[in-house]
Structure 1
Amino acid sequence: MEKEINESIQGQSLILDERQGNTKKMFIESYGCQMNFSDSEIVASILANEGYNTTQNLEEADLVLVNTCSIRDKAEQTVRKRLEQYNAVKKINPTMKVGVLGCMAERLKEKFLDEEKIVDMVVGPDAYKDIPNLLKEVEDGRDAINVILSKEETYGDIAPVRLNSNGVNAFVSITRGCDNMCTFCVVPFTRGRERSREPQSILSEIQDLWDKGYKEVTLLGQNVDSYLWYGGGLKKDFVKATEMQKATAVDFAQLLDMCATQFPKMRFRFSTSNPQDMHIEVIETMAKHHNICKYIHLPVQSGSTRILEAMNRQHTREEYMALVDKIYEIIPEISLSQDMIAGFPTETEEDHQDTLSLMEHAKYDFGFMFAYSERPGTLAARKMEDDVPEEVKKRRLNEIIALQQKLGWERTRRFLGQEVEVLIEKESKRSDAHWSGRNSQNTVVVFPKENYKPGDFVMVKVTDCTSATLIGEAVGYAERMQS
């Protein structure tokens, strides 16, 4: 639940330029959060070196891979339905091999091979480098599985292939795994313990993106604020580090500062943050650099301290609200977004009202809101009865959504009459005469094309808005971001 899931790209199949001499075809599609889509780019890079080009034609594929999500039951059911479709194709093309990657593979392990007879290979998130060996096992007629979670693997040595890219925005993974053990979440079990990537490998990847013309990078992790590089190893083992390692360690605020300083004409975002790990130094670093976007995704899940404790969220309602107040004090123009769960076990009407009042206090611009669904293997599933009736969950969720729509409308309207800096990303979905991009606060902005192009930073005078989109006219280039 700690991850933003873009519903518009779910199940997207990936395509990249053909590599000369590669003779085999792979079809790869992804579900879930941006980490999964980023991981698919790593897999594509590994398999390109093994003679595979991508195809968007399922029927001609030698290898079909689906990168899966376990965050909600709906995501898993979607994958199972998709496997049924693969099975129909496999009857026509019996030599086609099917592999399941990612969090669902990690959660179900060998059970996947038993339950889904079509699946030849099951690969967890830390085992992608082993795919060439697993394919050899499959080609020899054996099922293959590697779901071993690593204490070291960060894929820092693999240059991801940028798939379905607009050439403007890119994601760069900086951490893997999560130590937080929220009672509703499967991520620590499917992606392992937290470990961070070496800073220089991150900066090198960003340099490569800059050289290729990219203008915005999102630093990505299950919990970016926990980033801590001290020479390798797990975050939890930092207490055992040497004095020299501790003195030269790099935390997230320092990494963010390094990125913004080294690439002053590139824009930076990050996702996802955890309230208990967000330090004032990160907020001060954001305020210091124009090219760090003024937007934080700050999941809270509930406005009730009692429910937060049951979720093992490691902060109270009051601590979260104090953090929000501090963020607004340091960066008044900031946008915040939330994750919220309606109907967690034992949630009362009073707890629900606490959630609504916290939302009013935080004044979120956006939100990702769900009714609680029990995830097998989590502490909540093992220890807590899912005792809030479905109709109550649905009603509370609808009230949360309605309030967020009201808040979002109010927050979007604050830009009316202002000039905002926009990075042009693509053509507007509704009009081929307009560009679409986002301002620093992550709000979509559309305006007439004129002579601008994707990748340009443009100042736009906002003249109108909908509940989620700003409408305006370009008044010129954003001079301090022009390279």
Structure 2
Amino acid sequence: MFCGVGGLIGLSAKLPLGWDLAESPVSTMTRPLQRVLGAAGLLRWRTYSCHGACVSPRQPVHGEAKRNGRPEGLGARLAAGPTLRDFLRDAGLALCFIPVYLETYGCQMNVSDTEIAWSILQRSGYLRTRRLEDADVILLVTCSIREKAEQTVWKRLRHLTALKSKRLPSQAPLRIGVLGCMAERLKEEILHRERLVDIVAGPDAYRDLPRLLAVAESGQQAANILLSLDETYADILPVHGGVSAISAFVSIQRGCDNMCSYCIVPFTRGRERSRPVASILREVQMLSDQGVREVTLLGQNVNSYRDTSEAQFSSAAPPTCLSSGFSTVYKAKRGGLRFAHLLERVSEIDPEMRIRFTSPHPKDFPDEVLRLIRERPNICRQLHLPVQSGSTLRAPWGVSLSSDFIAGFCGETEEDHQQTVSLLREVRYSAGFLFAYSMRQKTRAFHRLEDDVPAEVKQQRLAELIAVFREEAAQVNAAALGSTQLVLVEGPSKRSDSELCGRSDGNIKVIFPNRLPLEFGAGPSSKQTLGSSSTPDPFGSRSPACQAGIGSSEVTGADVV
């Protein structure tokens, strides 16, 4: 109903149970008021769960006089319309009730970034929808690590632009945004040459999303791709997958100082910076309280973590000592609390919670970290490392290894390729991510090397690497048959409701008969003996590779996991 509230127009409404506020008549009815009066700084919009909404008068800002219980000069302000100052001050409040759809591409860090972006938007009153057709704002969190990843996003943007052009006059305009690494790398092309989107926000600009979207609401394009030298989101708790989630990502470090020849990450993510230990511990404790059973600590170079947020930390650690054979472009930082300290503190929060971390770099693997992995039962014995260190890795038996591989890099000879094949056979990785090389602008390779390996040769070499990887991984997993593994149950298997799916300590997918009580559900751990005589084989004549988790369903394009 409409009523007078402090001399202003107010609205309150109750929705029937089960209605989605983003799809309700209230949303359509209030949007004109929201855009006009909200942008003028006169109203503050609030939502109550999913069942009601109201508009209340904005409290006067400091120094703003009041007369007869309302801001002075209200009639004049309404007649004159909003000023730029009003617009910028309360732009974030003017966009409530607008449903937003988030779509994520790329690595685990992008998944974490999506959760951070949604946390910021949620604070500004947005509503998240899981249905693309219901959204008034569509945001793509993008990846630039390979050309194929960018091509996928370009194709998606053209599809979304076509949807935008089909909007009915009675519908709100559709706003499209590109977030993440591709936004930073291709801002000009995305905004001006192709003109496919309304906003562009780099990995360090998510705090600015409400303002950028407010600018886009006025019909203008908006961008912020500034990279920070400090940790940008230390005080923001991401909105994780949901109350029933059994695993979660926790971002602890951003950026990379390694400047590898073929890698675009330092240019899209910036210099290394870390969250304070206290901030990370609070988030992990919150996840434990919510029943999350597995946490993965994330960073572009996760084990280079260094907390220098407090003065007393400046001399808390000795100077960085790199592993033998490595050098860096940037001078190593001094002091601070290092990754071993953080990993130990996190593992103490909940002894029943599994701890993983990715992606580490071999140059930053001190013995303290390896000892922790050996001594703490809840720190998983699984390492993901750049392939260059595979033959000299200081890892004990029983550790599962994974890595990244590229086929057909600049100047790669057949001998180079066979060395990679030999490495795959020698190390016998349990999981891997294999790709054909694609040139990335700004990298050292782009400026100094030639992309001279023909595309067909790249694909042939990639196919051989995948075949060898599968062969060796099948043998590694077959060797696990008969062993008892602690498996974190993720839920029903995609192949059959009579089977459950989970992951072992080494992050190997395990599928086993569903003999758990109905109330057991996903999340608790279950000890399973792989292929033993005491456990009937649910796979019949299927290969041991499938039983241990390496099946054809595990390959997406050239990604092999």
Check the 8 A contact 1:420/1:462 in 2, yes or no.
Answer: yes
Q: Kindly tell me: are residues 410 and 420 of structure 1, through their superposed partners in 2, closer, same or farther at Cα, counting changes over 3 Å?
A: same
Q: Does 1:355 align with 2:429?
A: no
Give the SS at the match of 2:530.
Answer: strand
Q: Which moved more, 1:348-357 or 1:19-28?
A: 19-28
Q: Kindly tell me: are residues 263 and 232 of structure 1, through their superposed partners in 2, closer, same or farther at Cα, counting changes over 3 Å?
A: same
Amino acid at match of 2:364: D
Amino acid at match of 2:117: V
Aligned to 2:131: 57
Aligned to 2:34: none
Aligned equivalents of 1:164 and 1:373: distance in 2?
Answer: 36
What TM-score comes out, normalization by structure 1 length? 0.84
Aligned to 1:279: 366
* Structure 1 residue 419 displacement after superposition: 1.0
Aligned equivalents of 1:103 and 1:351: distance in 2?
Answer: 30
Check the 8 A contact 1:275/1:320 in 2, yes or no.
Answer: no
Q: Does 1:45 align with 2:110?
A: no
* Structure 1 residue 164 displacement after superposition: 6.5
Check the 8 A contact 1:112/1:119 in 2, yes or no.
Answer: yes
Aligned to 1:148: 226
Aligned to 2:205: 127
Q: Does 1:292 align with 2:379?
A: yes
Check the 8 A contact 1:408/1:468 in 2, yes or no.
Answer: no
Aligned to 2:148: 74
Amino acid at match of 1:267: R
Give the SS at the match of 2:395.
Answer: helix
Aligned to 2:303: 225
Amino acid at match of 2:249: F
Q: Does 1:258 align with 2:336?
A: no
* Structure 1 residue 279 displacement after superposition: 2.2
* Structure 1 residue 468 displacement after superposition: 4.8
Aligned to 2:510: 445
Amino acid at match of 2:529: K
Q: Kindly tell me: are residues 340 and 129 of structure 1, through their superposed partners in 2, closer, same or farther at Cα, counting changes over 3 Å?
A: same
Q: Kindly tell me: are residues 250 and 243 of structure 1, through their superposed partners in 2, closer, same or farther at Cα, counting changes over 3 Å?
A: closer
Structure 1, gaps ≥5 residues long: 1-16, 234-240, 301-316, 472-483
Aligned to 1:457: 525
Aligned to 2:435: 370
Q: Kindly tell me: are residues 232 and 181 of structure 1, through their superposed partners in 2, closer, same or farther at Cα, counting changes over 3 Å?
A: farther
Amino acid at match of 1:368: F
Give the SS at the match of 1:453.
Answer: coil
Aligned equivalents of 1:243 and 1:342: distance in 2?
Answer: 43
Check the 8 A contact 1:123/1:146 in 2, yes or no.
Answer: yes
Aligned to 2:480: 415
Aligned to 2:98: 24
> Aligned residues, how many?
426
CA displacement, residues 224-247 of structure 1 (integer Å, 9 cap, x when unaligned): 1111112279xxxxxxx9546869
Aligned to 1:342: 407
Amino acid at match of 1:384: L
Q: Kindly tell me: are residues 203 and 273 of structure 1, through their superposed partners in 2, closer, same or farther at Cα, counting changes over 3 Å?
A: same
Aligned pairs for 1:93-132 (under 5 A) are 93=167, 95-132=173-210
Aligned equivalents of 2:230 and 2:305: distance in 1?
Answer: 14
Check the 8 A contact 2:315/2:336 in 1, yes or no.
Answer: no
Aligned equivalents of 2:546 and 2:275: distance in 1?
Answer: 35
Aligned equivalents of 1:57 and 1:290: distance in 2?
Answer: 41
Aligned equivalents of 1:265 and 1:371: distance in 2?
Answer: 40
Amino acid at match of 2:286: D
Q: Kindly tell me: are residues 143 and 73 of structure 1, through their superposed partners in 2, closer, same or farther at Cα, counting changes over 3 Å?
A: same
CA displacement, residues 32-75 of structure 1 (integer Å, 9 cap, x when unaligned): 11111111111111111222111133233121111111111111
Give the SS at the match of 1:125.
Answer: coil
Q: Kindly tell me: are residues 266 and 389 of structure 1, through their superposed partners in 2, closer, same or farther at Cα, counting changes over 3 Å?
A: same
* Structure with higher RCO (Cα < 8 A, 6+ apart): 1
Amino acid at match of 1:402: A
* Structure 1 residue 248 displacement after superposition: 7.0
Check the 8 A contact 1:231/1:245 in 2, yes or no.
Answer: no
Aligned equivalents of 1:124 and 1:165: distance in 2?
Answer: 29
Aligned to 2:159: 85
Amino acid at match of 2:379: I
Aligned to 1:191: 269
Q: Does 1:321 align with 2:379?
A: no
Aligned equivalents of 2:148 and 2:202: distance in 1?
Answer: 20
Check the 8 A contact 1:170/1:217 in 2, yes or no.
Answer: yes
Aligned equivalents of 2:149 and 2:310: distance in 1?
Answer: 33
Amino acid at match of 2:380: C
